[in-house]
Chain A
Amino acid sequence: MFRGFRSLFRALKARQDFEQGMTEELRSHIERHTDDLIRSGVSPEEAARQAQIEFGGINTVQEQCRESRWLHPFDELGRQTRYAARLLRKTPGFTITGLVTLAVCLGANLTIFAVIDSVLLRPLPFPHADRLVTMFNSYPKAGVERDGSSITNYYERRGRIPAFEGLALYRFATAIVGDAGATEREQIALVSPDFFPTLGVDLRMGRNFSEDETSVQTDRVVILTDRYWREQFAADTQVIGRQIRMNGVPDTVIGVLPPDFRFLSSQAKLYFPYSSRPEQRLPSERHSGGNSRQLIARLRPGATLSQAQAQIDAQNATLEADDPQAKMMADAGFRTVVAPLHADHVAEVRPTLLLLQAGSLTLLLIGAVNLINLLLIRANGRAKEMALRQALGASRLHVVSEVIVETTLLTLAGGALGLAAGAAGIRLLAVFGADRLPLGSQIAFNMRMAGVAFLGAAVLGLALALPVAWFALHGHLAAAIQSESRGGTASRAAQRLRHGFVVAQIALAFVLLAGAGLLGLSLERAMSVSPGFRPDHVLTGQISLPRSAYRNGAARLAFNAALLREVARQPGVSGVGVVNNVPLSGNSGKSSATVKGHVDRPGESARGNYSYGVDGDYFAAMGFSLREGRFLNAGDSRRTDRVCVVDEDFAHYYWPGESALGQRLFDGLAATDDSQAFTVVGVVGAVKQAGLTDDVAQGAVYYPYSSRSDDSLFVVVRTTLPPESLGLALQKVVRQIDPQLPISDVRSMDARIGDSLAAQRSPAVLAALFSLIAVLLTAVGTYGVLSYAVALRRGEIGVRMALGALPRQIRAQFLTLALRLLTAGLVLGVAGALLAGRAMRTLLFHVAPMHLPVLAGTAAAVALVSFLACLVPSHRAARISPMEGLSHRQ
């Protein structure tokens, strides 16, 4: 940027020096000549006069000198720019309309581009990031498309896949960090020693994890992110060797990461070694992935994704050969999928972002068409001047360059405004949750955006100039000059062009509005889906129990008991329960249950189902409906008989047409000893687990908390008060039980449901905004063109009125024209909307891409707005007095 300024400044300085030097040289030439003439006896005045005459016009000579130096084109450009600026200043209405249109359209595009750029385009901040891949296990026939990777997978694949240069295992988690009384719940990551080398990241100081530190006894070391190092250690360079308490146990700092280190969207501030016990690495654990454990790998230079995929497939086949579970896994469609890391990370949001960019580009197209029409109208007003100037010898190049300079000046100014609008738009996007997108925290105004704005504005300037220049060159000279009125044969082609553009505009606005309609309808359908429980008046919060203090299930149950007792005492609480994951939290995991006595039907495989451990009155607190039997309660976790509750989807799948009560099942993939079986004591209504738009009835099993305790739990409180008002009390209760434990993510279920719809809501709202602007622009465009059509024919209309035409006939004439344009626009629009609907099918929820009510509504809205825009000009036409017909022909 500064370099750009400096070179511009130098060029300007050089230019000034050139002018000064030239003036001095020419003047001294004339002076010498004058002196010589005086010496030869001519009087001083006569000598000066003669020297001037012999030299010729000094301005002409200077101009020729500049031409010799190729400075001429720049001078011409400057002149044309000044001229264009003057013309634009003289028509403030046009200029302001144009600038506002450009600012809005370019601003919208730049905003969306900023998101696309940081999420989809910019490579991950690692060397040769295109060689980074991830992989996950998939069991599609069991309803589990994606299940992360297991620790066994990591140890079996490490060093054995030739296409990989490095392979690493990681898991995100949270931990309670700090000394007693000053604890903080922090995002952390557990990574294998090869994690940083695989990414190609060197530590800023200290050392990486060693292989010794991957066993559970010797893993008390930590690597700090730059941010944590600055915040907690004030960037102390002697930090290596100091200690941090994690979950109450001291860990030694062994390294600090570089400042720009950022792994995907992770907020982890501390990195710990991924330690495991030998039994977690056994072949029997091969399929116990779970979505939290992930593998990344770096392809060797020259190796391809498909080679890696083939090698993984081959290894899986070899390993499965002597795996007792092999048959079951094959039935489940087991496969390991290798995918590019970046693309995989953003795969879910990619279609939405591309759709929004397409929408904003359509908006830009509508705006551009508007501007072209306005420019054509302006050019028509100047057709005679143009023709005259060409007749007098102005070159075609000159005419064209003048048009280009004018439109480019306009678009560059509009681009600058658009850049400001885009910068504001990025702030606004945070409201739509853009920073929660994968890689979304990097969305920011930057020089790339400015570059794109400049480039876009310049290209747009050229594009706008084309039709106008064409018109200026192809206007029939003689006709334009001769014609006394402004309309001539020249303008008929231009008129057709303008009308064509109005049709295009209507069609594009139709497409945008129809698309927004489909998204809006999808959102509405998603919002009206019943989650299966009663989310009103429910407050939830997450608590992590550190393994060090809550070593076993008994300790956790004791904590639960205290928590349930204390919370129930709070005023307004009508029910309280504990669950290891609430629905719609975005990370409900699936596992398998084996039903006793169930014989697999042909082609059937093990099914993944949602599994939960619950304590207290979870079902009542969350507002589940009971179909059969009874809910689980606190007592079930504290008795020895093993019971469980299933949801109706699970019951219908395994026991169609009979009662589920009294049936028995095992938690896991195999039917083990009968003493391990759980007896179904109740059937509850199915709830939406992963999201409201989740259509797959996968089934769920709810076990007593004692059988499925976890180091993280959610407390669920039903209250008669507004749920948020209970937040502080909840926090206080937890602190009273254990001052070390923070409670986090305290939100009402209504808020969780709202957030879970962000992926539907934000695009719908943005699309609605775009289409609103589009329709507005179309109205302005239609109005402008129709008004101009009326203005062109004032004389003709006046004469017709004088000859007895009725105002309503005149009005009908223009309304017919408007109707013709509208009809053509709508027909094209419907075609476009059908294509757009098909393209966005994956983003729709329970709405067909071709939705007749949406199309009809869109048509009505577009027709109404365009028609209103035509009404005023038509009405004006009808009120032209006969006198004007006479006076107009000056």
Chain B
Amino acid sequence: MPKSADLLPGTLDMLILKAISLEQLHGYGVLLRIKQISGGALEIPQGSLYPALYRLEHQGLIASEWGQSQNNRRAKYYTLTSIGRHRLREETAGWNRLAIAMTAALNTAPGEI
């Protein structure tokens, strides 16, 4: 098992939006998908997933609807709304800028100044 990283504040929402943007998912599915797409490096505390989902739904970034899962269980599925898609794009771009800047800054060697 790879070493798991702690979540930075504010990144949980981003991850949830990303996971849902790939495919409609129920809550447990979101958990598994994040674990999967982060190569097992990011693990979300299960208790904080649902408050985040409810908050995002309340903000209109995701929508939910009850349906049947593959094993014929009732489940609540989340999908990304257009506002959510827009937000995800913005956040991704922002994150990338930050990551590049951080990487550049942290990789600076003494001789490069």
Contact = CB atoms under 8 A, between A and B. Distances in A.
Contacts of A24: 74, 76
B58 A68 contact: yes
B55 A60 contact: no
B47 A57 contact: yes
Interface string A43-77: 00000000000111100110011011110000000
Nearest to B45: A56
A64 B27 CA distance: 16
B76 A33 contact: no
Nearest to B55: A68
A29 B58 contact: no
A32 B66 CA distance: 16
Nearest to B75: A28
Interface residue SS majority, chain B: helix
B46 interface: yes
A56 B51 contact: no
A24 B27 CA distance: 12
A70 B58 CA distance: 9
Contact of B28 (A32, A61, A64, A68): A32
B74 A55 contact: no
A55 B27 CA distance: 12
A431 to B, nearest CB: 58
Given A28-B75, A32-B28, A68 B51 contact: yes
Contacts of B50: 22, 25-26, 29, 61, 64-65
Nearest to A32: B28
B3 interface: no
Nearest to A56: B47
A70 B46 CA distance: 21
A433 interface: no
Contacts of B58: 68-70
Interface string B17-60: 00000000011100000000000000001111011101100100
A370 B59 CA distance: 47
Interface of A is mostly: helix
B51 A67 contact: yes
A586 interface: no
B60 to A, nearest CB: 12
Contacts of B48: 64
Interface in A91-117: none
A780 B47 CA distance: 56
A22 B55 CA distance: 13
Contacts of B28: 28-29, 32-33
Contacts of A65: 50-51, 54
A618 to B, nearest CB: 87
Contacts of B66: 21
A822 to B, nearest CB: 59
A56 B46 contact: yes
Contacts of A54: 46
Q: Which of A54, A57, A61, A67 has the most CB of B within 10 A?
A: A61
A64 B46 contact: no
Residue of B54, B74, B76 with most partner-chain A CB within 10 A: B54
A60 B47 CA distance: 8
B53 to A, nearest CB: 8
B47 A61 contact: yes
B47 A29 contact: no
A25 B46 contact: no
B7 to A, nearest CB: 15
A55 B75 contact: no
Contacts of A55: 46-47
Contacts of A61: 47, 50-51
B27 A29 contact: yes
Nearest to A66: B54
B47 A28 contact: no
Contact of A25 (B27, B45, B51, B55): B27
Contacts of A68: 51-52, 54-55, 58
Contacts of B26: 25, 28
Question: Which among A32, A54, A60, A61 has the greatest number of chain B C-beta atoms within 10 A?
Answer: A32
Nearest to A61: B47
26 contacts: A21-B66, A21-B76, A24-B74, A25-B26, A25-B76, A26-B50, A28-B26, A28-B74, A28-B75, A29-B27, A29-B28, A32-B73, A33-B28, A54-B46, A55-B46, A55-B47, A56-B45, A57-B47, A61-B50, A64-B47, A64-B48, A65-B50, A65-B54, A68-B51, A68-B52, A68-B58
Interface of A: 21-22, 24-26, 28-29, 32-33, 54-57, 60-61, 64-65, 67-70
What 8 A-B pairs have minimum CB-CB distances, sorted nearest first? Answer: A56-B47, A64-B51, A68-B55, A68-B54, A32-B28, A65-B54, A55-B46, A29-B28
Given A25-B26, A28-B73, A67-B51, 6 more contacts: A25-B50, A28-B26, A28-B75, A54-B46, A56-B46, A56-B47
